Amino acid sequence: MDRSPSGNRSVSTKTIQEPARQIPLYGEYEVAVLGGGPAGIAAAVAAARAGRRTLLIERYGFLGGMGTAAGVTNFCGLHANVYGNAHRVVQGIASDLLARIDRLDGLNAPHLILGKIFAQAYDTAAYKIAADDLLASYKVDILFHALAAGVVMNGDRRVDALMVETKAGRRAVRAGVFIDCSGDGDLAAWAGAPFEVGDAQGHPLYPSMMFRLNGIDPDKAGDAWRTIPQLMEQALAAGTHSFPRKSAIVRPQRSGIEWRVNFTQVARPDGHAVNGIEPDDLTRGEIEGRRQALAAHQFLRTVPGFEKSYIVDLPPQLGIRETRRIKGGYQLSGEDVLGCASFGDSVGVNGWPIEAHVAGDVVFTFPPIPESRGYNELPYRMLVPEGVDNLLVAGRCASMTHEGQSAARVSGACFAMGEAAGSAAALALAGNRMPRDIAVEKLQETLRQQGAFIGRDQAVPEGL
């Protein structure tokens, strides 16, 4: 089999004919959400909260998306640095979920990143249980272990049904409004919505294989996250170890004996980022990610306090930061993030800076501190794809440029987008309109009443 310069199998021109068949209908819903990450959780809860019969479809047997399936274990983007002061700017459904995780003793106190902005770590088991509990309390139906695999259209612009592969065989899900929270824009792409992948050359942000270590001596390790970068430089200079990227994030979980490690960077043989929608890339990326995790641990065992540590968890999948970005009525840009842009149709905010995972490094670029308000608004048009009528897109595959996505892809903004998309779907159904035709002021009012912070003239929430 020939391989392309990236090392992938050449696209075969050979095809086989799949016989047409009758597909059992799994169910008919008012709202169907694809994907159970932060965007999908919030979208499903918001639609169900508004009284709509809602199904969430997820390929794994648990919720959380990259936050659990890729072992991220840390919420970014819940906070913003507003004129030099920290505020939690993502509220609403995210606050409800955080409270449930906290009740399970699964939430760290917020911690400062780069001396500029807060993030908040959590335990993945608590996240999974809290998310189950949240969806159950709003009576969202869930279909786990169901891989969406295609759509049947009703005309050019309307999705009739989503096809899902289950252990019982292929099933169809019908809905009035679909919300694509797959992170990869699978549903929207199959329905014919235009999309982009990666930078101007088509290369996405580099993925990472996260992992967690246990068996650390907390007293001896102390604030090792401060010293590890210097130890890496020394090891490089001494030639004892090499690293796939400069910036490593190694931080304690709630129990100081367990630390999370964000250390790896997974490339193709040609050096470009693994592409998370290429099957061969993903296969090699998983194996390379685990190889890098092992190598990283061999180095980390030289850090005081880490001598007896062991890899307690390699997550179910490689962590994918960026694949398809669906094109909608507006693409959030890097300038919008750095300029703290405002939009008349704002439905939430993003306070996370640009975090570019480029070859060999992670480059953060913040809006001016303390001169700026530190967050940009997220316009509703980001969620409304071109070309398809009964569809919304939320989360890391929403309408953004490569640079804009490098910031607003993190959990905080994804929760905000999801909550807005679920509420918008409910409003569209109530008014018998397409999502693109709803009254945005009504959506904004609904979100505010439900406790979300959407920017505009709202007072910035106090505290962390």
Ligand X SMILES: Cc1cc2nc3c(=O)[nH]c(=O)nc-3n(C[C@H](O)[C@H](O)[C@H](O)COP(=O)(O)OP(=O)(O)OC[C@H]3O[C@@H](n4cnc5c(N)ncnc54)[C@H](O)[C@@H]3O)c2cc1C
By the criterion CB under 6 A, which residues form the site for ligand X?
A: 34-40, 57-60, 65-67, 69-70, 72, 74-77, 147-148, 181-184, 186, 207-208, 210, 262, 319-321, 395-396, 409-411, 414
CA distances from 39 to 111, 262, 286 (A): 23, 22, 24
Q: Measured from the CB of residue 121, what is the shortest distance to ligand X in angstroms? A: 8
Alpha helices in 327-376 (DSSP H): 334-338
Instruction: Please enumerate in sequence order all residues whose Cβ is within 8 A of that of 387, keeping only pairs 6 or more positions apart, or say none.
Output: 157, 191, 192, 193, 194
Burial class (CB within 10 angstroms; exposed 0-12, middle 13-18, buried 19+) of 153: middle
Q: Measured from the CB of residue 52, what is the shortest distance to ligand X in angstroms? A: 19
First to last CA, the chain: 55
343 three-class SS: coil
Q: Amino acid letter at 219?
A: D
How would you classify residue 185: left for phi > 0, otherwise alpha for psi between -120 and 50, otherwise beta?
Answer: left
Residue with tokens 């905000």: 416
Q: Which is nearer to ligand X, 273 or 454 (CB)?
A: 273
Alpha helices in 156-259 (DSSP H): 186-190, 218-221, 224-238
Q: Amino acid letter at 439?
A: A
Q: Which is nearer to ligand X, 72 or 347 (CB)?
A: 72
Q: Measured from the CB of residue 390, what is the shortest distance to ligand X in angstroms? A: 18
Give dist(CA 96, CA 156) in Å, integer.
38
Q: Which is nearer to ligand X, 10 or 119 (CB)?
A: 119
Residue with tokens 């367990």: 258
Q: Which is nearer to ligand X, 58 or 288 (CB)?
A: 58
Q: Measured from the CB of residue 220, what is the shortest distance to ligand X in angstroms? A: 25
Q: Which is nearer to ligand X, 100 or 396 (CB)?
A: 396
Q: Measured from the CB of residue 91, what is the shortest distance to ligand X in angstroms? A: 15
Q: Which is nearer to ligand X, 55 or 148 (CB)?
A: 148
Give dist(CA 41, CA 65) in Å, integer.
9
Q: Which is nearer to ligand X, 14 or 252 (CB)?
A: 252
Q: Which is nearer to ligand X, 173 or 447 (CB)?
A: 173
Instruction: Please enumerate in sequence order all residues whose Cβ is within 8 A of that of 11, keeping only pairs 6 or more positions apart, or say none.
Output: none
| Residues paired with residue 82 on neighbouring β-strands, in sequence order | 85
Query: Which value, to the nearest 10 degrees, does the dihedral of the CA atoms of residues 44, 46, 51, 54 take?
Result: -10
Q: What are phi and psi of 16, to 5 degrees?
A: -125, 155
Q: Which is nearer to ligand X, 398 or 428 (CB)?
A: 398
Q: Specify the length of the chain in residues.
A: 464
Burial class (CB within 10 angstroms; exposed 0-12, middle 13-18, buried 19+) of 141: middle
Q: Which is nearer to ligand X, 370 or 391 (CB)?
A: 391
Give dist(CA 379, CA 426) in Å, integer.
18
Q: Measured from the CB of residue 458, what is the shortest distance to ligand X in angstroms? A: 22
Q: What angle do CA 380, 381, 384 make, to 5 degrees?
A: 105
Q: Which is nearer to ligand X, 262 or 292 (CB)?
A: 262
Instruction: Please enumerate in sequence order all residues whose Cβ is within 8 A of that of 261, keeping only pairs 6 or more positions apart, or say none.
Output: 210, 211, 212, 213, 248, 249, 250, 293, 296, 297, 300
Q: Which is nearer to ligand X, 65 or 351 (CB)?
A: 65
Q: Measured from the CB of residue 264, what is the shortest distance to ligand X in angstroms? A: 8
